[in-house]
Chain A
């Protein structure tokens, strides 16, 4: 079946612009996560959605970062007034319920470059 998809695969933007990154999770997966992979920081947790519960935003690095998940499916990560230190690969993962509820399935990532 289809895996987690992310778009765009690459995004180049100018400092100060806003960007939106999209994640389409595996159908039926109730949990969705965003991570950031950067050279200096490795893989960092950003935000976690579980069903209709309030998201866990504890990993968001600043108030310029926000995310939403509409209809329990697609998620959008928004970065406002981008800075050069936001350059990274942004990974999305989804997780099912049931017997495989312990494992996250990752998308290919969006590579963000802020000039």
Chain B
């Protein structure tokens, strides 16, 4: 069975500082990996995804993530955050057949002025 762990439920960070949101997964098969963002009272928006190839993937709004197969991790990073990045971030894995998502519990990023 697949599972996703987001160890940090909340991450406070000052504006213009770097941030890393951690995601670890477990799976016995090859998976696809995703990061979604949810702004208050809105649906989920795709930030970036890893399917294959280069382990460093770049997404929207200046975010990037690195797939590390040996550590089964897919951490999300941004070198300089803005107040507008305040939101909840979800890591997800899917199998390569049904594409059903297994989500982590989410990390609430709060950017402080």
Could you tell me which A residues sit within 8 Å of B by CB distance? 4, 31, 33, 35, 42-45, 48, 50, 56, 59, 91, 93, 95, 101-109
Contacts and interface: CB of A to CB of B under 8 A. Distances in A.
Nearest to A107: B43
Interface of B: 32, 34, 36, 42-46, 49, 51, 90, 92, 94, 98-106
Nearest to B42: A108
Contact of A45 (B45, B101, B105, B106): B101
Which of B44, B98, B104, B106 gathers the greatest number of chain A CB atoms within 10 Å? B44
A91 B99 contact: no
* Contact residues of B: prevailing secondary structure: strand
Which of B94, B100, B106 gathers the greatest number of chain A CB atoms within 10 Å? B100
A104 B99 contact: yes
Given A31-B99, A43-B90, A56-B98, A103 B106 contact: no
A91 B102 contact: no
Contact of B51 (A42, A59, A102, A106): A102
